[in-house]
Amino acid sequence: MKVWRWIFYLVLLIFPFGQLASFYSPFKEFFFRVHLLDIAGLCFVLYWLVFVKKFNSPFFFRPLAVFGVIASISLAVKALFLPFGELVLPFFYLLRLYCWILFFWAMTDFIKKEKIDLINLLVLEGLAVSAISLLQYLFLPDTRFLFYADWDDHFFRAIGAFLDPSFNGLILVLAFILCLKKYFGIRQGNKNFYLFFLLLIGITVGLSFSRMSYLILIISFFIILMFKKKYKLLFPFLFFFVLIIFLIPKQTGEGVDLLRKSTSFAKIANYRQVLLISKDNLLLGVGYNLLRNEFFKRGFLAKENWQTSHAGAGADNSFLFVLATTGIFGLLSYLYFWLEIIKRTLKEKEIFFLSAIVSLLVSAFFVNCLFYPWILFWWGTILADFTAEIEA
């Protein structure tokens, strides 16, 4: 069991380094990015499968497994009409989906067997992400050179090791929620530590200039205060957060303009493209993670970088991604999974978990966050913690 615990610590160690802890596959025929987090997560699952006595499948696992089966069927159907070369990458992405689905089960067992302060560990992860983001903002604020590596170009924004302000901001907000849980749950004497952590994470979110991150931070904080009946804290929080936004230094450029329109227009165009593809493949979609191929065939991606563009593999909306790749059957099963979680969360009155759910679901309408490896790890971990608690 010590080995299993150390593998989990390895996953935690790799997590905050984001895209920096990844490399491209050495095979020119099958060009894809390999994340060390996926490899560490797979090791965690494999050790559990081989060496650990398992409990029964946890609550929420079956609806999630049904979605995994439908994703497999959608890819298998398309496999009949596609050359082998086009199926290798989607197959690996499907394996990754299965890995993180099983990670949820394995993590639930891990929490039941091991005595660890999971919330504090995740708060530390958030602080590490915040520290890396602040260092990047202070010493490498101009990251426009990443454009030549097929990333979006950003200027004076906290993108951290994830190289994207939206994903970086989302992870910080999720850490902020857990930090807030610890703040409300401990005695007065230790609150100052968590208050400092909240301030640090809040400033880093402000430096992301991600409107999505701002929105979910305000929504999640509002939910917690309403359930906690801490109404008096709402105005000071809003005042302080708005103050941070106005006081942080801003360079010239559209990226730091909160009223920018180009990204909004780009997302709307992406939604239209995905809906057009979905309409033509309504039942089972184009096949799990075959969206990049479909984009290229329809001329939505440039020929010179269609395989390497980091924006080419999915939709800017997780639910549209599910609809386009697994069809209406996949979308219905996926929505059922989330509905079951929300119903049980409301029943248990777990407000911090509820605020995390709302943050994820709101974000999913702006970026494809629900299939992002680091979000899959974070979500699988806190869902396992919630599941282990209600099954205790």
Q: Indicate whether 271 belongs to any domain.
A: no
Name the average pLDDT for the chain.
90
Overall average pLDDT of the 83-90 stretch: 84
**Dihedral of alpha carbons 349, 65, 334, 369, sign:** positive
- Does 103 have pLDDT greater than 70? yes
Overall average pLDDT of the 143-164 stretch: 90
Asked if residue 205 lies in contact with residue 169, where contact means CB atoms within 8 angstroms, the answer is yes
Q: Indicate whether 12 belongs to any domain.
A: yes
**Candidate from 151-155, 279-283, 366-370 with smallest mean pLDDT:** 151-155
Range of the domain at 333: 2-265+298-391
DSSP state, residue 57: P
Q: Indicate whether 353 belongs to any domain.
A: yes
pLDDT confidence of residue 87: 86
pLDDT confidence of residue 127: 98
Q: Indicate whether 330 belongs to any domain.
A: yes
Q: How many domains does the chain have?
A: 1
**Candidate from 49-53, 99-103, 246-250, 271-275 with smallest mean pLDDT:** 246-250
Cα pseudo-dihedral 269, 212, 126, 308, rounded to 10: 10
CA 286 vs CA 154, 173, 303: distances in Å: 32, 33, 20
pLDDT confidence of residue 94: 95
Q: Indicate whether 235 belongs to any domain.
A: yes
pLDDT confidence of residue 281: 93
* Rounded Cα–Cα distance for residues 332 and 282 (Å): 12
pLDDT confidence of residue 329: 97
Between 27 and 223, whose confidence is greater? Answer: 223
- Does 248 have pLDDT greater than 90? no
**Candidate from 167-171, 238-242, 385-389 with smallest mean pLDDT:** 238-242
Tokens for 253, please give them: 């450029």
Overall average pLDDT of the 260-273 stretch: 86
pLDDT confidence of residue 98: 97
pLDDT confidence of residue 193: 87
Asked if residue 63 lies in contact with residue 322, where contact means CB atoms within 8 angstroms, the answer is no
Q: Indicate whether 285 belongs to any domain.
A: no
**Strand-strand pairing, 33-35 and 22-24:** antiparallel
pLDDT confidence of residue 295: 81
Tokens for 181, please give them: 């849980």
Q: Indicate whether 273 belongs to any domain.
A: no
Type of residue at 182 = K
**Candidate from 92-101, 217-226, 286-295, 320-329 with smallest mean pLDDT:** 286-295
H or E stretch including 334?
helix 318-348
* Rounded Cα–Cα distance for residues 357 and 359 (Å): 5
Helix orientation angle between 36-51 and 2-14, rounded to the nearest 10 degrees: 170
Q: Indicate whether 270 belongs to any domain.
A: no
pLDDT confidence of residue 252: 63
Between 278 and 189, whose confidence is greater? Answer: 278
